[in-house]
Amino acid sequence: MALLLLSLALAAAATPPPTPFSSPASCPTTPIALPEELAPWTAAAPLAAAANVDALGTAPIAIGVATDLTLGKTGEVQYALRPERPGGSVSHGGMAQFTVTRAGLYRVALGNAAWLDVVADGKGLQSVAHGHGPDCSGIRKMVDFHLAPGDYLLQIAGSGTPVVRVLVASVPGK
């Protein structure tokens, strides 16, 4: 009986194996088509991120406009909230602010795997979804939030690079 049970427990898997991510080497040389909300990703303006909340006025980002954020060394950043994953001393981080005028679903896209928080009224907001960007898009990470009209603070922490592209986009129809 025990052998039967063991063989049952080890029976064949029915689920197909996962599909691996596309590696840069396998990506086309021409830019891939992006969904409407991510289309601005391909052209970005530079901006220095704020290293503390008092400097946030110098780091505004607009919805639907990609920005190459220059970050500070992690040890020199005073976050509004302690990030869940602050990163090591050799990592980078910073903050920016953005304003939402229409309630809806918003997607924060990043060019690397840094930790991000969207903060309102001193509290970090719960994301509703996360995932990778489209293969070969250069978007490494996307996190979705339901946002009401108002001002928000974007924290980026534990970045492995001193510059990271960021895009806050309204998701059409959501």
Pairing label, strands 44-48, 66-70? parallel
Nearer to other proteins, 36 or 84 (CB): 84
Q: Closest distance between other proteins and the C-beta of residue 15, in Å?
A: 5
Here's the x/- map for other proteins, 131-150, by CB under 8 A: it reads as ---------x----------
Q: Closest distance between other proteins and the C-beta of residue 137, in Å?
A: 13
Q: Closest distance between other proteins and the C-beta of residue 106, in Å?
A: 21
Nearer to other proteins, 65 or 113 (CB): 113
In whole angstroms, what is the distance from residue 95 CA to residue 30 CA? Answer: 32
φ, ψ at 26 (rounded to 5°):
-95, 5
Residue from the set 67, 137, 159, 170 that interacts with other proteins by CB under 8 A: 159
Q: What strands, in cross-sheet order, belong to the sheet with 150-159?
A: 72-73, 92-100, 150-159, 115-120, 123-124
In whole angstroms, what is the distance from residue 144 CA to residue 14 CA? Answer: 32
Regarding 86 and contact with other proteins (CB under 8 A), the answer is: yes
By CB under 8 A, the residues from 22 to 41 that bind other proteins are: 23
Regarding 14 and contact with other proteins (CB under 8 A), the answer is: yes
Rg of the chain over CA atoms, in angstroms? 20
Regarding 74 and contact with other proteins (CB under 8 A), the answer is: yes
Q: Which amino acid would we find at residue 125?
A: L
Residue from the set 81, 84, 128, 150 that interacts with other proteins by CB under 8 A: 84
Q: Find tokens 């986009």 and name the residue.
A: 169
In whole angstroms, what is the distance from residue 95 CA to residue 77 CA? Answer: 9
In whole angstroms, what is the distance from residue 134 CA to residue 111 CA? Answer: 12
**Which parts of this chain interact with other proteins (CB under 8 A)?**
2, 5-6, 8-18, 20-21, 23, 74, 82, 84-92, 112-114, 140, 158-161
